[in-house]
Structure 1
Amino acid sequence: MHYELPDAPALASLDNEAYAHRLSVLEKEVTGQPPTPELEAELCRGTGRHADWNVRRICVDALAARFADSPEARQAICAATHDDVDWVAFTAINAVHSLRLPEAAAHLIRISGWPSNFSRPAYARKPVGCGAALTKRALWGIFGSRDPEELRRLEDEHFAGLRAQVASARVEPDLSDAVLVPGGPSIAGARIDEVGPFQMDDADNPLRVVELPSFHIDRTAVTNERYGRFLDAVRSGGAERWAHPDQPDGKDHTPAHWRDPRFDDPSFPVVGVDWYDTYAFARWAGGRLPSEDEWEKAARGTDGRRYPWGDTWDTELARSVESAYPGENPRDLDELEALLVRTSLVWPPEPVVPADAHPRGASPYGALNMAGNVWEITRTNFFTRQDMAPFFKGRTGVEFMNRPEAFHVLKGGTWTSPPVCLTTYYRGKDLLTDRHNEVGFRCVYDAAPPDA
């Protein structure tokens, strides 16, 4: 007979005395049922998904007592160490300690850090709560030692397979079409704070000095030809190795404008990609998305210039609204918007140019089209200025489109932008799931240290 856990609404309708009695009955039921695969599956489901935390706690205990040899049960118990209700997590931590589940080590280390560190007598630490104390004790029990040197050896041994897997998946970047940006200080931020005819206010982006290590950056935005090679790799299998953990399920990374004749030339920058697409591509290419500061230094150099080529605007050196829309030159925000609302599926007929166009507009390091043609995605959150850390999996855009955590910085301006948006310091923003024909990206790569 298939056993089903009581549902949360039914439990919520009980008064305190009846609720406590029902939990007591539930504990007897799950220990009295035959240990069938169906019962195990129901307990695993309850451990991870039941809305009542006491039911989750009871399921953890029952799995540990009755199905400790099952990989599925052990996985469910390990996952429960991260439950958002303390006593469910404590129950799971005690269970993995009692069972000495080696696969739980990776889960517990996320909570307390490496036991070889916190076991050192001189290790600086603050008083901890129940969870941290239980976790440390469990790790000592799983590894069977409290000696920091022995723990380090055991940690290396335990994670050797995972480290080998990570090393085998590491991609050596192709730097044949990348430029070096030397390390050191550089100027970032806006040089003006006036509003102007396009209603631009850069008061929240003050001038400052940033210090960065050396890095390489793609000479051009990623092209359709190069992105196509990534799609071939994704479609041949193993796409999850490059995907961000928060990436929506079922994503295939095909750009929205992959078949659009105005944007699909192999030499054009790829557009119609979102933040998750660019994150996966960068990992596949052995690099990462640039931070806002990395991008700005690559475009600007160290002298705080306004445009990649200098301080004076030149419409011949960048693809902007002035060159993408023949005969148009909007002088203020009203004229710009009046022009943009006339944009259609066929007009303007040639919005973008090849990624290696405008060589005279190169940045001080030789990067091309860092002003105009397409906006470029970064890994920097627009509001916090920290690296993006999305947590929206399973939600639709309308559920997080007002969340600050969902917006990354765009840099460089695009074919619909006036010159004021093509400055090296201008900060655009976009929702991380949006896919526009105005937005592309390029990657950065770590530079080897000087003595390497």
Structure 2
Amino acid sequence: MLHELFEEESITALQGREYRNRIQQIEKWLADATSDDLSLEQLSAWAVGHADWNVRRLAVETLAARFVAAPEARAAICEAIHDDVDWVAFTAIKVAGEHRIPESVAHMIRISGWPSNFTKPAYARKPVGCGAAFTKRALLDFFGSVDPEELRELENRHFAELRAQVATARREPDLRDVVLVPAGPFIAGARVTDIGPFQMDDSDNPLRVEELPAYYIDRTAVTNARYAEFLEAVGSSKEFAHPDEPEGKDYTPAHWHDPRFNPPELPVVGVDWYDAYAFARWAGGRLPSENEWEKAARGTDGRVYPWGDTWSDDKARCVFTAYGRNDIHNLADLEELLVTTTVAWPEKPVAAADSHPDGASPYGALNMAGNVWEITRTNFFTRADMAPFFKGRTGQEFMNRPEAFHVLRGGTWTSPPVCLSTFYRGKDLLTDRHNEVGFRCVYDAAPVTER
């Protein structure tokens, strides 16, 4: 009887009165069932995974009524708070408040915000729907107060242990070799409108003013020596991995054994966006946004190159210096040269990460023009932070998705000078690993004040 009542295919095949009768039968069976009839494991599975939303809703109610003291039941109720069907989520929210389930608070504040804020008399807010209303009521039921000052104290107590754990796990930023970029506005965007002989179109990057808080940025791109420290420290751990990182990912660079690219003083290459993301977290920082990268490269006066407005071969590694050619005048010349590249030539394509001191940016950052492209956390198309969701898919499945492309900045050893400008926007698929691409990290200039 139990199997027949809850069997998913038979329920989804029912229509109208027959469906309603089945749900009523299930509701009555759950209400009358003895403790021997009910399994915590089965109810939890139904609450978060049954195909019929009414069964999920009833399972949540029954978990709260019969098993709310069990961690497994509370975990299932918390997961049901995020159910994609409204009344399953509403039911989970209501029982979480009624039973004052501690684990539910972190889930509910994502929906409504902090109760100490929304109970303030002058707090501006829009009218809400059922979900937000249920959530706010549940949070107030949990904390047992509507006074904003008292609620703030209760919230702080509730999350004190979690904050202590986060503080313990937080890595100190690696500030051994950084430069400070002060807070304030800067001129961003392209200063060139002519597409030129290399067919460069910067119309997607208008001249504008941006404002940023202060931050530190690595003086050089991350070197092979520094990346080796990361590999040794993390081993097979995924503590610093992005949630979307491919299963079984190895952080070892693709060109780790190539003598042209692996000397310790060279910038690490052959890494993808996920590698760079994990390294930045391990280093106590993050990947730069493209605005953070651009300000660090050009300062506040809108200059074309880190050192000024006039190109100079001896201040950056580009296609001229890497290939020993200065007769590259247009796109056809460039492509004709690049197709002669082999796995052994050029013999020394990349310069040391701390080379070209005369080409430093206004803040002292090196090789922000040329040598290697640098990965940012910015999506090329939306200009928002990258938020990939491709886990379990192959590159062929997402290589045409806008969400899969991050911004590259700075140009590389195969680039002509126009790509080495402070405003040129390159892009790359987040899983690609090229010998032309590296990265550097940024760090908060002062501790972030946590709520």
Matched ranges for 1:46-445 at <5 A: 46-235=46-235, 237=237, 239-240=238-239, 242-327=240-325, 329-445=327-443
Deviation digits for residues 358-397 of structure 1, max 9, x if unmatched?
Answer: 2222112211110111111112222222222333344443
C-alpha contact (below 8 Å) 2:5/2:25 kept by paired residues: no
Which deviations, in whole Å up to 9, do the C-alpha atoms of 1:105-161 show, x marking residues without a partner? 111111111111112222222221111111011111111222222211111110001
Q: Does the CA contact (< 8 Å) of 1:3 and 1:42 recur in 2?
A: no
Matches of 1:155 and 1:8 in 2, distance apart?
41
- Are residues 342 and 37 of structure 1, via their aligned partners in 2, closer, same or farther at CA, if it must alter by over 3 Å? farther
Gaps of 5+ in 1: none
Structure 2 counterpart of 1:148, one-letter code? P
CA drift of 1:65 comes to: 2.7
Deviation at 1:34, TM superposition (A): 6.4
Relative distance call for 1:346 and 1:16 in structure 2 (3 A) is: farther
Runs of 4+ off more than 6 Å:
none
- Match of 2:210, SS state, is strand
In structure 1, the residue corresponding to 2:286 is in which secondary structure?
coil
Tell me how far apart the structure 2 counterparts of residues 61 and 18 of structure 1 sit (CA, whole Å): 23
Greater shift, 224-233 or 45-54, is seen at 45-54
Once the two structures are superposed, residues 405-448 of structure 1 have per-residue CA deviations (whole angstroms, 9 ceiling, x without a partner) of: 32221100112212111111000112223222211111112224
Q: Deviation string for 1:148-206 (max 9, x for gaps)?
A: 22211111110001111111122222323111222222211111111122211111211
Q: Deviations over 1:270-310 (max 9, x none)?
A: 11222222222222212221111111111112222211122
Cα distance change of structure 1 residues 394 and 60 upon mapping to structure 2, 3 Å threshold = farther
- Residue 14 to residue 329, structure 1, CA distance change in 2 (3 Å): farther
Contact conserved, 1:309 with 1:364, CA < 8 A, in 2?
A: yes
Instruction: Call closer, same or farther: CA 1:63–1:280 in 2, change over 3 Å.
Output: same
Letter in 2 for 1:284: W
Distance 1:392 1:236 in 2: 21
The 3-state SS of whatever aligns with 1:102 is: coil
Give the distance between the partners of 1:300 and 1:19, measured in 2 at CA: 66
TM-score norm. by structure 2 comes to 0.91
Deviation digits for residues 27-55 of structure 1 (CA, Å, limit 9, x no counterpart):
34555666579943333333333343233
1:98 maps to a residue whose letter is E
Distance 1:264 1:5 in 2: 64
Give the C-alpha shift of residue 56 in structure 1.
2.4
Distance in 1 separating the partners of 2:245 and 2:198: 36
Q: Is the 8 A contact 1:218 1:443 kept in 2?
A: yes
Summarize the Cα distance change of 1:255–1:61 in structure 2 as closer, same or farther, 3 Å threshold: farther
8 Å CA contact 1:3, 1:38 repeated in 2: no
Q: Relative to structure 1, is the Cα distance of residues 197 and 47 closer, same or farther in structure 2, using a 3 angstrom cutoff?
A: farther
Which range moved further: 125-134 or 15-24?
Answer: 15-24
The Cα shift of 1:10 comes to 4.2
Between the aligned partners of 1:112 and 1:375, the Cα distance in structure 2 is 41
TM-score (norm 1): 0.91
Partners of 1:236 and 1:59 in 2: how far apart?
39
**For 1:375 and 1:151, how far apart are their aligned partners in 2?**
49
Instruction: Give the 3-state SS of the residue equivalent to 1:424 in structure 2.
Output: coil
Give the letter for the 1:46 counterpart: W
Instruction: Provide the C-alpha distance between the structure 1 equivalents of 2:4 and 2:144, rounded to a whole number of angstroms.
Output: 38
**Any conservation in 1 of the 2:411–2:420 contact (CA below 8 Å)?**
yes
Query: C-alpha separation between the residues in 2 aligned to 1:39 and 1:298?
Result: 59
- Alpha-carbon distance change, 430 to 78 in structure 1, aligned in 2, over 3 angstroms: same
Tell me how many residue pairs correspond in the alignment. 447
| Structure 1 residues 318 and 68: alpha-carbon distance in aligned structure 2, compared to 1, 3 A threshold | same
Deviations 1:216-274 (A, max 9, x none): 2111000111111122221275x42x333333344343322223332222111111222
Offset at residue 93 of structure 1 (A): 0.5
Contact 2:47 2:76 in 1 (8 A): yes
Which segment is superposed worse, 98-107 or 402-411?
402-411
2:376 partner SS: strand
> Counterpart amino acid of 1:370?
M
Change in Cα spacing, 1:268 to 1:50, as seen in structure 2 (3 Å) is: farther
Structure 1's 210 and 54: CA in aligned 2 closer, same or farther, altered over 3 A?
same
Q: Which amino acid aligns with 1:309?
A: W
| d(CA) in 1 for partners of 2:161, 2:327 | 60
**One-letter identity of the residue aligned with 1:126:** K
Which is further off, 138-147 or 308-317? Answer: 308-317
How far apart, in 2, do the equivalents of 1:156 and 1:70 lie? 25
Aligned partners of 1:79 and 1:175: how far apart in 2?
39
The one-letter code sitting in structure 1 at the alignment partner of 2:151 is: L
Distance in 2 (alpha carbons) for counterparts of 1:250 and 1:5: 41
